[in-house]
Chains A and B, each alone.
Chain A
């Protein structure tokens, strides 16, 4: 079923603040097997000009996708989450996410399209620090596959 086009441009209230912890960054870096000391050693991070350890580039997805959940689960939008796959993902950074950041995400529906029975939803997540500084914007394309094959 085609999604309601009138939702294009809709923004959702900012997400609950997420405090980025050094140990969470370490856990993520270890999970992707990345032993670059910049992610775990504040001295190394400072030598590269970071106030504290930065997170790997895709770390922030956990935060933006959780915020996008408000969009995905909006009953009035009518997206069938059991059929949703992740189509595209893009990040545009003003600066890296880093330990100590308290981040909020504002999610906006950028576009809704229907193609060959698939619903294609583009969600933008603008991530800001506590002082209002823009950190990164995440662009997430979700595809709800057609109910029947072909």
Chain B
């Protein structure tokens, strides 16, 4: 019963704070670029604005196009609510392990790309193609990062991984250093952040994610933006779960929850600022450098797994 309550609490929490994280990252970026910034609440206001507008659909939009924002939102919500954010005993977590989690991200990506191709505009297909290009290397890289953690904890269940890494005897795992670098690269690519994609332009040469959602408006667009925020939150919390799981409450330990919540907010603040810094100091890559970048991430993750096995023997 308590577990279900916790699950519901986490579901609500993630969906509410996701835009806040996005706002915080944007605000930090603005500060780093000597701008005053739109304020951390901007994403919420944007969404309210979008929810007020009339939706416009292209004449030849099929049901696929209309239906997709809901699927995307549901997938990302599910993903964000599966990660042990504040406590490990989530009743949903046995149903979906890390491989299935990567599968959910892939499902969302395939739907995004298909919806982008639905109208049949040049930008839409361009975005879909580039998204799949990033995805086909990011997905295995992410999986390999997870495998490194899974090999350490002998489990692909995210809760077991967190419990092993956070609550068992403290051991330094060198393989995680490789995994962490690879993970950050994947995070940047998957969330359309700067060296790979630029979330704040509509420039033909650079855009990936924005090109795919050009035709969306009003409520559909709001849902997609919200889903992107949820994805960023999901990735950030996955990063916490794998590389700094300290503070996440153990199963059944209800007293630790407030502390876990505080730890989460501190970590999110720091990580958001770090992400903004990373985006500020790096430059957007040419699109054909992206496969190289992602390939490097993938190989680093493989190397992490390899280093784990090498150390183990």
Answer yes or no: do A and B interact. Answer: no
B residues touching A (Cβ–Cβ < 8 Å)? none
